[in-house]
Structure 1
């Protein structure tokens, strides 16, 4: 399968996937973007008082000085260095926030992968185990993110070095992403599988195994020969076709020449019948027509010919 065919198959699978799974894919992708942006940014909390502007994230601290019109610069350093200048250490609550946010980031990456399996891969789109795994990953990601922001929001204001800081957009993005993961986790739990369209080009073009195979029907009778040729079965051998309707038998008899009778071959209408067919015991074909390899069904009763005998007169 080429790359183009694979992409087309993935799009077909996405179109046939449950609506809830498709919605979860977009929501999870957006939530992962928000959380990744907030995790690496430095604007979890900020302060702006007079000439002092500063902001801090999980890892870095940035300050901007505008004390002089000719002096405008921004200095970014790690939180450890920033606290080291003040003789302080990184508090335990900040370590805890970092840990839970990291757990949320890792599980959110795995959640994106499983959301792709639930919407773009035909072999896993209807697997209940895949959806349950995706739901569990979303719950773990939401738990890590929301626990991390809860610790950060509940402790930062009690620190003297963060006394005048206020939560900023990175903090808000993390909260929003955690809520999104929590919602999509419940959607995956209650999403119902959807049958993939049988004509789509992603490996679902075979009929179900429990579908009944249609019964073979007899091919139309040839006017010239007056019989139905044998029909082959996919598994091998010859299938006995259905007996023709009474109306068709009348039409056949009406199309025969007036000279047709018991003493004329029913196939060529020329020579006398000489061959006896078993087990039906009909004797209406001449030896030349009966010896034909194409004649495997009796032209009179449509039974399979087991043996052809030329009786003595």
Structure 2
């Protein structure tokens, strides 16, 4: 089968499309013929070698942790799904890859919502799982006021919607051109950077209960001050979090801090079927153009999810 891979660490142009052996579903797993696969910041962190000491991987490596497609193989012990079903889901996160390929083995999945395009479904699972894990860690529920730093990105846009569905009030930071976009998702938008504490105080005079940092832009000191302490802040992106007493929410691979929240996929699918959840797409690329997808991801300016089609 065709698969995206890199055989050495480096810039996006180390990515190639190559013929590799097909994987097969083991017990408790399914295999899908992939139609779309998501691109996450973790993909380019691994490819660049930025995380080679923290998260060693075997090379060559096939990136991608979430995908959508048609079920074509069902492992022992699996019930509730049939050959030919349309699903979206996650590969074994411990492997940190394998989704950007003609076939992918999923360990968690849910039916593809009718309202989702294949591209939206392919880019849904990783951000849903990540956002849910962070919201649960922060105890976000009805009545919570949540600040999302870097709210216009893939995880931020999902976290806004899932938090609003729980009954939370959400403030989100982004560049001013993205404020209308955030408002349409249910957030109260504001600008990141100097003066954030004053802007947040004006928008939430009773303060915020929790902060989710999706940007990793070095703002944790300010976010901790806004939240009133490091235990009320979770980051998914700042590798220097420990300097501020903040823990990184990460699952899969060495140093993982939490177990995956696989049940979140069915929750998001149900919300989508109710018209309460969507997956905003930043851009869609063919597999052969994956280097451009990684370049956009590395820019930090993608509004929504980046997806590859096969």
Q: TM-score range by the shorter chain?
A: under 0.3
- Using the size of structure 1 for normalisation, the TM-score is 0.18
Q: Which has the higher helix share?
A: 1
- Using the size of structure 2 for normalisation, the TM-score is 0.18
Q: Which has the higher strand share?
A: 2
The structure with the largest alpha-carbon Rg is 1
